[in-house]
Amino acid sequence: MQPLSYTALERVKVPRPRDRLSQIEAHAHGKRVFDLGALDETAYGAKQDKGLWLHSRLCAVAREVIGIDNSALVPQGGLATRPNGRIVQADIFALGDSVARYGQPDLIVAGELIEHLPDTLGFLRSLKACPELQGVEFVFSTPNACSWHNIAIGLAGRESTHPDHLQIYSYKTLRTLFDRAGIELHSLSPYGARFDEMIERSGAAGRLAVRGFQAGVNLLEWATPMLSAGWVGVARI
């Protein structure tokens, strides 16, 4: 990745945005995966067979997927999701225990997770401090603090934020977090906005309006990737 000087007008070069799920899925082929925060209560259920649930997409290409989630919706005995996938109740801050129980992963995925954590730097440092995870690939995604769709709705005096979101990151703050955690960040690539849940909830006219808004935002994201909806990061613990 390019070195940063952290000057106010420093130019940052990033590629064009691509689909978030496809970017993450590409790293999982044939691997044993730990999928952190796997349940994703906004996607589990009706959407799991529509290609919109990350855990399901991982199961389609990985050798084995162990979802790790502390949600009360995960039963004590775990939740079977696919022949090669399940979600278990466990602590993402103590992944050494999960390694002892389920084996060492080839890949750790944290899709739209770190913005929910009260201490993201502490979480990253817990990964770095775990001997069983040294050298394991880590792929994550998180919303972008500087995105076109947030600017657009902000002009209308609105904000779209999940009540469980505790922070939102930019390109440089993500670089800083990983540097301070001592984890080697290989890449940060933008992903484009998708409003699938809003489309699902809307009537015919609403769906047309939301799809039009999404298309307009995606065009702006293509022209200015730094203002895309979010980031997919690839690191090595």
Domains present along the chain, CATH in parentheses: 20-236 (3.40.50.150)
The whole-chain average pLDDT of the chain stands at: 93
Residue 45 is predicted with a pLDDT of 55
For residue 130, what pLDDT is reported?
97
What does the pLDDT read at residue 19? Answer: 97
- pLDDT at position 35 over 70: yes
pLDDT score of 83: 96
pLDDT for position 73: 87
Query: According to the model, what pLDDT value does residue 40 have?
Result: 76
Residue 52 or residue 124, greater confidence: 124
- pLDDT range class, residue 41, cuts 50, 70, 90: low
Task: Find the mean pLDDT for residues 183-189.
Answer: 97
Q: Is the pTM of this model over 0.85?
A: yes
For 96-140, write each residue's pLDDT tens digit: 999 999 999 999 999 999 999 999 999 999 999 999 999 999 999
| 93-101 CB contacts, 8 Å cutoff, 24+ apart | 93/122, 93/123, 93/126, 94/126, 95/34, 95/68, 95/126, 95/127, 95/130, 95/132, 95/133, 96/130, 96/131, 96/132, 96/133, 98/34, 98/66, 98/68, 99/130, 99/132, 99/133, 100/132
Residue 72: band (very low, low, confident or very high) from pLDDT cuts 50, 70, 90: confident
